[in-house]
């Protein structure tokens, strides 16, 4: 009983946890038995066998209260979903969320802890919709400082207009390279993302910061916008360095 957790003669609260890949005779994820109650919030239970949650209704056991959680097979409650959480690599034990995961920005901030399992602060705007909301599960998806809105949200004060760039080809190149970095971070590839920012992107945005004028190979010719992007990149590189150092 309870391949991941057995709740027995207990009053348990599970918040922002990820329980996955466990097996048992019953309740691969969680079993709840005698004189017990269970509250689950902001959590992910996925690919546990044979069930995610199993309850033995004897001797005072009550029905679990489950809200704002991703439960395979579904579960009645507020804000619950039944969708593949898109783990980075569950087989290798990496339960960070990929870009596009339905668990990103889907939890209840009122119940979430201040930091995730890696020590990153919650909430972050992991789906880049302009609103920071905590993620379901143990890990919070890192949001880059303004980089997404710089290319995708014309209404954002961070948006980089076409006139800021040397030409449309350079704007497309900048957007494509930054999209690659965002994808790397969504897969938990922090070292690779840092190297991409440092070696392939920052050198194309550093002229104005260094000399007050764009270099010949810089993408952006308007120093106001170039320095803004350079500052975002520098901030994100520092964030990635801290994450790598603490993992």
DSSP string, 14-31: EES-EEES-B-SS-SSEE
Q: What pLDDT, on a 0 to 100 scale, did the predictor assign at position 120?
A: 83
**What is the C-alpha separation between 177 and 143, in angstroms, rounded?**
16
Peptide bond into 123 cis (omega under 30): yes
Whether 86 and 190 map to the same domain: the answer is no
Q: What is the pLDDT of residues 171-185, one digit of tens each?
A: 999 989 988 887 787
Q: What is the DSSP string of 99-139?
A: TT-TTTT-S-TTTS-SB-TTS-BS-B-TT-SS--BPPSSS-
| Domain interval for residue 177 | 144-247
Q: What pLDDT, on a 0 to 100 scale, did the predictor assign at position 112?
A: 97
Whether 176 and 138 map to the same domain: the answer is no
Whether 158 and 198 map to the same domain: the answer is yes
Which of 143, 177, 193 is where one domain is finished?
A: 143
Around Cβ 78, how many Cβ atoms within 10 Å?
11
Q: What pLDDT, on a 0 to 100 scale, did the predictor assign at position 48?
A: 97
Within 13 Å, how many C-alpha atoms sit on residue 60's CB side?
Answer: 9
Which of 118, 143, 168 is where one domain is finished?
A: 143
Residue with tokens 């239970």: 45
Quote the number of domains for the chain.
Answer: 2
* Mean pLDDT on 181-195: 83
Q: What pLDDT, on a 0 to 100 scale, did the predictor assign at position 81?
A: 98
Whether 38 and 97 map to the same domain: the answer is yes
Q: What is the pLDDT of residues 49-76, one digit of tens each?
A: 999 999 988 888 889 999 999 999 999 9
Cα 192–152–224 angle (5° rounding)? 85
Whether 122 and 154 map to the same domain: the answer is no
Closest CA to 84 of 188, 94, 74, 93: 74
Whether 130 and 151 map to the same domain: the answer is no
- Phi-psi domain of 151 (left: phi exceeds 0; alpha: psi -120 through 50; beta: other): alpha
Whether 155 and 81 map to the same domain: the answer is no
* Mean pLDDT on 205-217: 92
* Mean pLDDT on 140-144: 81
Whether 104 and 179 map to the same domain: the answer is no
**What is the C-alpha separation between 172 and 223, in angstroms, rounded?**
18
Phi, psi dihedrals of residue 116, rounded to the nearest 5°: -95, -170
CB 167 within 8 Å of CB 188:
no
Which of 82, 109, 143 is where one domain is finished?
A: 143
CB 103 within 8 Å of CB 18:
no
Whether 131 and 216 map to the same domain: the answer is no
Element at 13 (helix H, strand E): strand 11-15
Local confidence band at 159 (pLDDT 50, 70, 90 cut-offs): confident
Does the pLDDT at position 246 exceed 70? no
């Amino acid at each position: 009983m309870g391949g991941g957790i057995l709740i027995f003669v207990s009053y348990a609260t599970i918040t922002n946890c990820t329980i996955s890949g466990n097996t048992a005779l019953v309740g691969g994820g969680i079993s709840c038995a005698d004189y017990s109650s269970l509250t689950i919030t902001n959590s992910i239970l996925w690919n546990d066998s044979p069930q995610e949650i199993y309850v033995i209704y004897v001797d005072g056991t009550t029905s679990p209260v489950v809200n704002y959680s991703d439960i395979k097979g579904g579960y009645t409650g507020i804000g619950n979903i039944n969708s593949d959480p898109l783990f980075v690599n569950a087989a290798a034990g990496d339960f960070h969320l990929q870009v596009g995961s339905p668990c990103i920005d889907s939890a209840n901030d009122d119940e979430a802890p201040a930091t995730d399992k890696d020590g990153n602060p919650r909430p972050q705007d992991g789906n880049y919709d302009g609103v920071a909301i905590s993620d379901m599960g143990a890990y919070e998806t890192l949001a880059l400082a303004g980089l997404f809105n710089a290319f995708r949200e014309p209404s954002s004060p961070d948006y980089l207009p076409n006139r800021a760039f040397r030409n449309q080809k350079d704007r497309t190149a900048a957007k494509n390279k930054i999209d690659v970095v965002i994808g790397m971070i969504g897969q938990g590839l922090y070292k690779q993302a840092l190297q991409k920012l440092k070696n392939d992107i920052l050198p194309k945005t550093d002229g104005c910061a260094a000399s007050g004028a764009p270099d010949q190979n810089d993408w952006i010719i308007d120093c106001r916008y170039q320095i803004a992007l350079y500052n975002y990149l520098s901030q994100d590189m520092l964030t990635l360095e801290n994450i790598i150092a603490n993992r």
